[in-house]
């Protein structure tokens, strides 16, 4: 009697079965089938999905058939000496939860699999070395942003742009240009750079840019020179942002991928533009694009970058001296580092979607409280005037570090299929950096027109809107392989939303349907050997 199929279940997402098409070697045509097409199959899917059960296609085969096909694959691609290894690997992949019962495995192979299962943080040294380099790649943007933040206390005086109106817009565009060029230029040169230089070469090239441009910023003799240096810096940041998370996601095992990613010719042009268009035209990729764009946009809507860009200025306006403001900003940065550590363990257990849905309402409250704290009269004691502002900014930062902060780039790097990953990530980075640039451009003027309290309240409201967008468009991806995500994003958005609203808002007990194969063939058991 065959055992029941192991069903891998993902938090609160509907499921549909992804139709697959064999692609011959060298065939570069994207083989993605729209689960929305085909009235009979599509209707059957919509009536039967709701539990987000991801099916293992190898469970359709008997043990003998799976081993035979794996051996044939190895021989067909010129690896006949490894055919038996491929066969044993297929048996493990067919039922990974019960590999210890496979008599076909050699003892050393069984021991290695047991060790990997019981020591999820174990990995080869080169994996950790590469992850460390990716972490440094992510840190470079933090260093550049920190330099810009501190420079806001003095460069407008140094370059005599201290007035209202026009001068405020100049200060804004100098801060914003890094992210505008990152989103509108840097993100869209990622595909050709990866094509001709590879992941490693692209990261090396952008690292050179991000080494030279901060030095150029420090040596600038006018605001125009500072603007030019930051313009080029933004191109490097945009290209780096779109590649480092992809490189990390491709290396990491699914069980800890979230944690590790947290620690970044005319014919060619036609193919690139077509693949970018596929991010909007192919339903599976479009749904992934919804999720990636949502988390990237939400990162800017939450207001974290008004703290990143202008925390020193905010603290000075609250009553700190410039030196005290820099120390307070140092505390803000330290909190981001410290409270990202718990997320290393939460992101792959509680999930990306869950962390965001919990922390966005908290960020809304803390940002609103920080803005209201700025209304304390100037004649109040220093502690009464400054303490609440710093406290609520710090609590806001903690909530951000436990949710949206580590989720945005990690989520965007993993949701797209391999052939679309550069273009999808480029679009997500474009969204993120363009809106970061808009934020940096408008905030100085906004504080004048709306007052600092009004500006903080505005972004507090955006947190609630971002929460609603995440609820509607961000699907859970925890502990799924990059291939299994195809099935998650094959679910029509209308089905996903109906299930989420009934289950989590109306608190209805929505029954989970049985797992279907190709909408009509019911898969209930692993076939017998």
Q: Where are the alpha helices (DSSP H) in 107-189?
A: 107-118, 125-151, 155-158, 166-184
* Residue-level pLDDT at 269: 37
Report the DSSP pairing between strands 53-54 and 516-517. Answer: unpaired
DSSP structure class, residue 303: T
Contact between 305 and 440 under an 8 Å Cβ cutoff? The reply is yes
To which residue do tokens 């599509």 refer?
42
The DSSP element (H or E) to which 458 belongs, if any, is helix 421-473
User: Helices 421-473 and 283-301: crossing angle, nearest 10°?
Assistant: 70
Contact between 49 and 10 under an 8 Å Cβ cutoff? The reply is no
The CA radius of gyration of the chain, in Å to the nearest whole number, is 25
The closest alpha carbon to 521, from 102, 183, 194, 57, belongs to 57
Tokens of 371: 């803005």
Distance CA(151)–CA(25), nearest Å, equals 54
User: Helices 125-151 and 304-318: crossing angle, nearest 10°?
Assistant: 40
Cα→Cα distances 161→174, 283, 315, Å: 11, 49, 20
Q: What is the pLDDT along the chain (529 residues), one digit of tens a residue?
A: 333 333 333 333 333 333 333 333 333 333 333 334 444 444 433 333 333 445 677 878 888 898 899 999 999 989 989 998 998 898 888 888 788 888 888 888 888 888 777 776 676 777 777 777 777 766 676 666 666 666 766 777 788 887 777 888 888 888 888 888 988 888 788 878 888 888 888 888 888 888 888 888 888 888 899 999 999 998 988 888 777 777 766 665 555 445 544 454 333 334 445 667 888 888 888 999 999 999 999 999 998 888 877 777 778 877 777 788 878 878 888 888 888 888 888 888 888 999 999 999 999 999 999 999 888 876 777 677 788 888 999 999 999 999 998 899 889 888 888 777 778 888 888 898 889 888 888 888 888 888 889 999 999 999 999 999 999 999 988 877 766 777 788 888 888 888 888 888 888 887 643 332 332 233 333 343 4
Q: Which residue segments constitute the domains of the chain, with CATH numbers given? A: 1-52+509-529 (no CATH), 61-120 (no CATH), 128-473 (1.20.1250.20)
Residue 312: burial class (beta carbons within 10 Å; 0-12, 13-18, 19+): buried
Distance CA(162)–CA(175), nearest Å, equals 15
Report the DSSP pairing between strands 8-9 and 516-517. Answer: unpaired
pTM passes above 0.75: no
* Residue-level pLDDT at 259: 52
* Residue-level pLDDT at 100: 82
User: Helices 283-301 and 304-318: crossing angle, nearest 10°?
Assistant: 0
DSSP structure class, residue 206: H
């Amino acid at each position: 009697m065959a055992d029941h199929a192991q069903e891998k279940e993902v938090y609160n997402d509907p499921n549909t079965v992804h139709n697959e098409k064999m692609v011959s070697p060298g065939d570069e045509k994207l083989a993605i089938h729209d689960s929305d097409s085909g009235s009979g199959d599509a209707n059957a899917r919509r009536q039967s999905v709701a539990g987000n059960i991801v099916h293992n296609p190898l469970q359709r085969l008997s043990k003998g058939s799976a081993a035979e096909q794996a051996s044939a694959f190895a021989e067909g691609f010129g690896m006949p000496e490894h055919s038996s290894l491929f066969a044993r690997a297929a048996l493990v992949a067919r039922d990974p939860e019960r590999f210890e019962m496979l008599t076909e495995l050699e003892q050393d192979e069984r021991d290695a699999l047991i060790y990997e299962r019981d020591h999820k943080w174990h990995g080869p040294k080169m994996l950790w070395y590469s992850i460390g380099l990716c972490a440094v790649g992510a840190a470079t943007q933090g260093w550049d942003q920190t330099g810009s933040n501190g420079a806001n206390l003095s460069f407008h005086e140094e370059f005599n742009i201290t007035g209202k109106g026009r001068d405020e817009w100049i200060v804004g565009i100098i801060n914003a240009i890094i992210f505008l060029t990152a989103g509108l230029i840097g993100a869209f040169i990622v595909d050709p750079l990866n094509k001709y230089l590879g992941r490693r070469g692209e990261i090396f090239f952008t690292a050179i840019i991000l080494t030279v441009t901060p030095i150029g910023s420090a040596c600038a003799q006018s605001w125009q020179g500072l603007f030019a240096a930051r313009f080029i810096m933004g191109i490097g940041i945009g290209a780096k942002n779109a590649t480092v998370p992809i490189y990390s996601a491709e290396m990491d095992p699914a069980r800890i991928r979230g944690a590790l990613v947290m620690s970044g010719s005319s014919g060619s042009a036609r193919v690139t533009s077509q693949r970018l268009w596929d991010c909007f035209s192919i339903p599976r990729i479009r749904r992934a694009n919804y999720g990636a764009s949502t988390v990237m946009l939400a990162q800017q809507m939450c207001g974290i970058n008004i703290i990143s860009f202008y925390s020193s200025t905010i603290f000075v306006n609250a009553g700190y001296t410039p030196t005290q403001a820099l120390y307070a900003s140092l505390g803000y940065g330290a909190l981001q580092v410290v409270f990202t550590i718990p997320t290393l363990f939460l992101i792959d257990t509680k999930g990306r979607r869950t962390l965001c849905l919990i922390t966005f309402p908290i960020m809304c409250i803390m940002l609103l409280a920080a803005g209201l704290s700025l209304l304390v009269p100037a004649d109040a004691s220093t502690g009464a005037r400054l303490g609440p502002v710093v406290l609520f900014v710090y609590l806001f930062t903690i909530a951000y570090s436990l949710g949206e902060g580590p989720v945005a780039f990690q989520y965007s790097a993993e949701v797209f299929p391999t052939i679309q990953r550069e273009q999808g990530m480029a679009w997500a980075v474009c969204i993120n950096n363009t809106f970061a640039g808009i934020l940096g451009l408008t905030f100085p003027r906004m504080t004048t027109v709306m007052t600092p309290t009004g500006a903080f309240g505005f972004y507090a409201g955006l947190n609630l809107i971002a929460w609603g967008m995440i609820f509607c468009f961000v699907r859970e991806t925890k502990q799924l392989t990059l291939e299994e995500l195809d099935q998650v994003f094959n679910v029509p958005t209308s089905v996903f939303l109906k299930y989420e609203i009934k289950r989590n808002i109306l608190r209805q007990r929505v029954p989970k349907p049985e797992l279907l194969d190709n909408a009509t063939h019911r898969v209930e058991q692993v076939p017998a050997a």
